[in-house]
Chains A and B, each alone.
Chain A
Amino acid sequence: QKEVEQDPGPLSVPEGAIVSLNCTYSNSAFQYFMWYRQYSRKGPELLMYTYSSGNKEDGRFTAQVDKSSKYISLFIRDSQPSDSATYLCASSRIQGAQKLVFGQGTRLTINP
């Protein structure tokens, strides 16, 4: 079993829709949770980062972590065609925090 599980999709939604992306993790020692976006032929770029449980909002993006259920979510409001990319969730422990464990990635397409 992978430590971080993510549905690879693909996911296709119309422009303007609310997108919900989800991951589950199994390692209770994970304390840092991130969402990366990766465009084709590019390296991943950090979208959101949270420490422990809670919500974090940045513009159209909201990240949620529920440590009791080991569930990580990313919501995208008013989705745009430019949001079309692969979204990767990642987690890490406090010890060795730079060792990120990634989910498989979800390929998202926003249709105009």
Chain B
Amino acid sequence: KAGVTQTPRYLIKTRGQQVTLSCSPISGHRSVSWYQQTPGQGLQFLFEYFSETQRNKGNFPGRFSGRQFSNSRSEMNVSTLELGDSALYLCASSPRGDAYNEQFFGPGTRLTVL
């Protein structure tokens, strides 16, 4: 079974631009979560989608948004990029998202903002 895939793997943008990252979960998984990983703050939860609905949200500004499609694929968007948005963005999928299910992480998209 294929793992979680994320595209693109690397991205360079400049301040003020916007970016869209894509995540394809493991086949059959309906819950997709997004995390930001930086050396200073570590791994921080952004949001979780289940059946096309945002179910949980972390403490990030409104510039960070996401969506999930009917096939469970998910995208996250960051508008008006800031230097501090440079990070590894990780997507994780789990089967149902009820109670605790193991989350399977993708390799991440490394975003550099210049």
Residues of A that sit less than 8 Å from B by CB: 32, 36, 41-46, 49, 51, 88, 90, 92, 94, 96-105
Contact = CB atoms under 8 A, between A and B. Distances in A.
A99 B94 CA distance: 12
B105 A49 contact: no
A79 B94 CA distance: 30
B2 interface: no
Contacts of B43: 44, 88, 90, 100, 102, 105
Interface of B: 4, 31, 33, 35, 42-45, 48, 50, 55-56, 58, 90, 92, 94, 97-108
A43 B105 contact: yes
Contact of B106 (A43, A92, A94): A43
A97 B44 contact: no
A101 to B, nearest CB: 7
B100 A49 contact: yes
Nearest to A97: B100
Q: Which of B4, B35, B45 has the most CB of A within 10 A?
A: B45
B102 A46 contact: yes
Q: Which of B43, B44, B48, B97 has the most CB of A within 10 A?
A: B43
B33 A99 contact: yes
Contacts of A43: 4, 90, 92, 105-108
A96 to B, nearest CB: 5
10 contacts: A36-B105, A88-B43, A92-B100, A97-B97, A97-B101, A98-B31, A98-B101, A100-B33, A100-B35, A102-B42
